A = this chain, B = another copy of it.
């Protein structure tokens, strides 16, 4: 059976708000790791993947894996009956066709209980290849929302181009064309300089502008410690797939395969941080963990709420449907930042990472662009 107690019903409400227009029905795959949802959008163009880790719950118990087939419209309705700060408990018996939701007002005598019918849904769990991307743009989620909303007024598509200049969002419409350029934020770790994405693995094929080889002291920045402040926080290294997303349990079975963990280091912790210091022989073997905690709070560059971080190994230029991006951007309420991960001719990954989970969208580029 499942019993999952969420401190704030608001999280679930926001998640549902974010995806309910994209997907009508989906399986909530519950297992001891947490709750995962993965679904194609109704027109089979986009893919959404949601995870709430077990640790993200106030209490979590799931004896054995069970898929809960949920009509998201129904769940949205039921969740509308909860206040954001209600404590929300999800319960389901094994093989049950009902999901029980209990809302406890934080401070009152009010207890609301709902039971929602479940349904059988063919779970076409799609394995998502763990792609390595040529470019990653991290920007405030509200900035992203604004950009796609603005451009959607002009045209239907947006070309996203990452170059040394920065990241450009360009759209063409009948009435007008628009182009928005975001430069790397000055004062950031890289001092405004666009850095290379490091490969996740030991692959050094990418052009790293600088190397983590650096000693711990300045491993934070390219510039000579001009911005030391950052350093103190987490060890920032421009790398890879998901620095903020600690969870590397990529959706699908793919991650399960464990192929990904090419940990040069034997430490999972580190690897999960995406900070791979192959030669970190130096001092810290453990500090990585520390960084993790600190980052959960704030202070990590990636958590800088206002900055734009651009990492790239290669120029990318891709065109996407704005309609979907606008839809994705609804998740902005879940996280201050969003990451756009791109490689040419590969689906875009739009990732929002929050405390103990994430919501990620994949969208194939339009062809014939660029």
Contact = CB atoms under 8 A, between A and B. Distances in A.
Given A109-B184, A110-B180, A117-B175, 12 more contacts: A77-B153, A77-B175, A78-B153, A81-B153, A109-B308, A110-B143, A113-B179, A114-B154, A114-B177, A114-B178, A116-B175, A116-B176
20 contacts: A74-B176, A77-B154, A78-B153, A78-B176, A78-B178, A80-B150, A109-B166, A109-B184, A109-B308, A110-B181, A111-B181, A112-B179, A112-B181, A113-B178, A114-B154, A114-B176, A114-B177, A114-B178, A115-B176, A117-B174
Given A109-B185, A166-B109, A78 B179 contact: no
A78 to B, nearest CB: 5
B154 A78 contact: yes
A186 interface: yes
A153 B117 contact: no
Q: List the 4 closest pairs (A to B, CB-CB), nearest first.
A: A74-B175, A81-B150, A109-B183, A116-B176
Interface string A69-86: 001011001101100000
A175 B78 contact: yes
A111 B169 CA distance: 11
Which of A175, A176, A185 counts the most chain B CB atoms within 10 A?
Answer: A176
Interface of A: 71, 73-74, 77-78, 80-81, 109-117, 143, 150-151, 153-154, 166, 174-186, 308
Nearest to A173: B77
Contacts of A151: 81
Nearest to A101: B176
Nearest to A154: B77
Nearest to A176: B116
Nearest to A181: B111
Contacts of A180: 110-113
A289 B237 CA distance: 72
A181 B151 CA distance: 47
A73 B150 contact: no
Nearest to A73: B175
A77 B176 contact: yes
Contact of A153 (B80, B115, B153, B178): B80
A308 B111 CA distance: 13
Contact of A112 (B117, B174, B178): B178
Contacts of A77: 153-154, 175-176
Contacts of A73: 175
Contacts of A185: 109
